[in-house]
Amino acid sequence: MSEQKHSVNRREFLGQLGMGIAVMSTMASSRVLGANDRLRIGLIGAGDRGQQDLKDALRQPNVECVAIADVYSRRGDQVKQYVPGVTVYNDPMKLLERKDIDAVINATPLHLHAKYFLAALAAGKDLYSEKTMTWDIPEAVACKEAAAKSKQVVQIGLQHESSGELADARQWISQGIVGKITMVDSWMSRNSPHGHGQWMRPIPPDCNPAHVNWNLFLANRPKTAFDANKFINWRLFWEFSGGNITENMVHQISWIISALNLDLPIAAEMMGGVFSEKDGRQVPDTISVNLEYPDLIVSWRSTFSNGHYGLGEHFLGSDGTIEHLSGSTDMVTGKYRSGIAYYPEKANRPTAVMIEGHNPGVNHMANWMECIRTRKQPNATVEIGYQSAVAAHMANLAYHRKGRVTLHEAMSAPMSAYM
């Protein structure tokens, strides 16, 4: 697909979306919720992630799901099994037209995040939008600008932002006991059974044009014949996904950005490839990323061929180390370790001792709903959604270009650079 055609499609899409938003903004809801008022929500995108978000939401007090929208009829049938009487729409815009919905969860595939992010704000709905906030950098800019003009409460689905470990790390860093941090080493390891690549899901027998609104799924992508594999396994294809960078690295980079109060990276580089399972996927399963910040390097490594070390980060400071682990296996004892701890550097803090973190954190969905009622900023703000999205997209751009990408280059990259 040529860069010119992508640019035309992008202009047409944003123009059409802008017109729709202008119309919808006249119907924006203005209901103010009290502490005991029932919160009425809708779900856009009822796949596995969306349904998990919905179940998390329904566990909170005074919450009712009145409608969902998904282009695949099967998913509406699934939700009806545990939300009797819920209204199901094929087109999310129909859901957003309803004035009796206070807030929506946007759990669509990545390439649709920005479309329904902008539409939800224009409709006056508070919003929980899954990570990564957008599919590319221009969309991230558009969403950030729209949120700044909006009065809506927006929580990005970066659950680590509500974790107790982040609160512990921030406390230790602010106290100065870590010293000058010049490197953060992070990783995410996961194994796959032979012949079964990560995210490769079976295709249901009813996944066909009779039950899927394929054109609505494609949105501003080139119109092609229905492809059940791409619809179900969209995470494997650049047209719809950012791969493991936008599925997993974004969680950790947002955590690191928040802990260190970072801005945007100066530059990014990324190496990797499809090394684990040759199953037709485009996005790499083995990755090494370096993000350059002023006086700091953040690295992130990931493989889908070994899960021994789980997920974690090491903040390497002159006066101490912060170690955050989730499911890592100790090579000596063979025991799993999780949690966060501070270890002093004896050269600069000879009398200091190790500290374990014990902050319990808060429920991410509960935090969003509390902020809907209080109108305060939630834990995963649009700003951290923007910063982490830009960092993620810079890494993917570096992978596509097979070289270092600066922030200036990334901010001016055309849509075709992501394909």
The per-residue pLDDT for range 256-297, each reduced to its tens digit, is 999 999 999 999 999 999 999 999 999 999 999 999 999 999
pLDDT of the residue at 335 = 73
pLDDT average, residue stretch 172-180: 98
- Considering the segment(s) 163-197+238-361 as one domain, its CATH architecture is 2-Layer Sandwich (3.30)
pLDDT digits (tens, 9 = 90+) for 178-192: 999 999 999 999 999
- The CATH code that applies to domain 3-161+365-381 is 3.40.50.720
pTM for the full model?
0.92
User: Tell me, what amino acid is at 382?
Assistant: V
All residues at 6 or more sequence positions from 184 whose CB lies less than 8 Å from its CB, including other chains: 256, 260, 296, 297, 298, 299, 313, 314, 315, 316
- In whole angstroms, what separates CA 55 from the centre of its chain? 18
Q: What is the mean pLDDT of the chain?
A: 92
- In whole angstroms, what separates CA 290 from the centre of its chain? 19
Flag whether pLDDT at 351 surpasses 90: yes
pLDDT of the residue at 417 = 73
pLDDT digits (tens, 9 = 90+) for 117-169: 999 999 999 999 999 999 999 999 999 999 999 999 999 999 999 999 999 99
Q: Which long-range contacts does 307-313 make (Cβ < 8 Å, 24+ apart)?
A: 307/189, 307/190, 307/191, 308/189, 309/187, 309/189, 310/188, 310/189, 310/336, 310/338, 311/187, 311/188, 311/189, 311/252, 312/186, 312/187, 313/184, 313/185, 313/186, 313/187, 313/252, 313/255, 313/256
Cis peptide before 132 (omega within 30 of 0): yes
pLDDT of the residue at 337 = 75
Count of residues for the chain? Answer: 419
Domain limits of the chain?
3-161+365-381, 163-197+238-361
Q: Are 200 and 278 in contact (CB under 8 A)?
A: no
Structure tokens of 262?
Answer: 């970072």
Pairwise CA distance, residues 411 & 419, whole Å? 16
The band of 11, judged by pLDDT with boundaries at 50, 70 and 90, is: very low
All residues at 6 or more sequence positions from 17 whose CB lies less than 8 Å from its CB, including other chains: 115, 118, 119
pLDDT of the residue at 3 = 39
Nearest to 125 by CA among 38, 17, 28: 28
Nearest to 247 by CA among 283, 291, 197: 283
pLDDT of the residue at 118 = 98
Flag whether pLDDT at 5 surpasses 90: no
Flag whether pLDDT at 28 surpasses 90: no
